[in-house]
């Protein structure tokens, strides 16, 4: 941020009074801008024992498979966001069963939250965001072609719980070595 969103004046990057972090502070109108982590919400959509995945039609990771997920929007709940993203990316309507995984990714200021979900019917299609949408047997998940490490971790946890039939809520942190990626 270089300019104040309230008055358009150039901001200073300083630590405000009664704070301990550098913020964008406007010397003209005194507006302080807080930049906070963003929540990505999505689903693990199941239909008759099969898993729905979407092949990304957009960057990043164009062409790789992902669980439907995206940035949570204002005025919605976490599960509403997850179901909206599922509809937008796969054309399918689903219901959330429970929150399943919450993965902090601090170096990119994101939290990825996935719900166990059931598709209401066998009805999905390619969208502007997904070149292909398909159901996979759990034994056929394309592990080497998954788009994001949070998706891989979530599906690993899902497969572990699926073996026991008992699904917990899981929390994890992804620390990515930015020197090697």
Site residues for a second copy per CB under 8 A:
1-10, 18, 21, 24, 33-39, 71-80, 98-99, 102, 104, 106-107, 109, 111, 128, 169, 171, 173
The residues, ordered by sequence, that sit 6+ positions from 105 with a Cβ below 8 Å of its Cβ are 111, 112, 150, 173, 174, 176
Give the nearer residue to a second copy in terms of CB position, either 141 or 153: 153
Q: How far is the CB of 113 from a second copy (least distance, A)?
A: 8
Burial of 72 (0-12, 13-18, 19+ CB in 10 A): buried
Q: Which residue has the tokens 């599922």?
A: 86
Give the nearer residue to a second copy in terms of CB position, either 48 or 74: 74
Cβ contacts of 73-80, under 8 Å, gap ≥ 24 = 78/39, 78/41, 78/113, 78/115, 79/41, 79/115
Q: How far is the CB of 70 from a second copy (least distance, A)?
A: 11
Distance linking the first and last C-alpha atoms of the chain: 26
Give the nearer residue to a second copy in terms of CB position, either 75 or 139: 75
Give the nearer residue to a second copy in terms of CB position, either 92 or 129: 129
Q: How far is the CB of 135 from a second copy (least distance, A)?
A: 26
Phi, psi at 139, each rounded to 5°: -80, -10
Q: How far is the CB of 8 from a second copy (least distance, A)?
A: 4
Q: Which residue has the tokens 């439907």?
A: 68
Give the nearer residue to a second copy in terms of CB position, either 52 or 72: 72
Q: Please check whether residue 150 is in contact with residue 105, taking contact to mean a CB–CB distance below 8 angstroms.
A: yes
d(CA 84, CA 127): 13
Q: How far is the CB of 14 from a second copy (least distance, A)?
A: 16
């Amino acid at each position: 941020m270089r300019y104040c969103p309230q008055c358009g004046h150039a901001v200073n990057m300083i630590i405000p009074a009664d704070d301990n972090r550098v913020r964008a502070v406007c010397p003209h109108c005194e507006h302080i801008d807080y930049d906070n982590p963003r929540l990505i919400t999505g689903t693990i959509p199941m239909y008759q024992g099969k898993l729905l995945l979407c092949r990304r039609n957009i960057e990043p990771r164009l062409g790789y498979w992902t669980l439907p997920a995206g940035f949570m929007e204002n005025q919605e709940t976490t599960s509403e966001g997850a179901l909206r993203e599922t509809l937008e990316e796969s054309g399918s309507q689903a219901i959330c069963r429970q929150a399943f995984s919450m993965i902090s990714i601090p170096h990119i200021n994101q939290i990825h939250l996935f719900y166990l979900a059931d598709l209401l019917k066998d009805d999905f299609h390619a969208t502007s965001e997904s070149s292909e949408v398909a159901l996979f047997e759990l034994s056929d998940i394309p592990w080497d072609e998954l788009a994001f490490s949070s998706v891989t971790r979530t599906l690993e946890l899902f497969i572990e719980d699926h073996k026991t039939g008992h699904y917990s809520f899981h929390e994890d942190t992804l620390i990515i070595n930015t020197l090697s990626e």
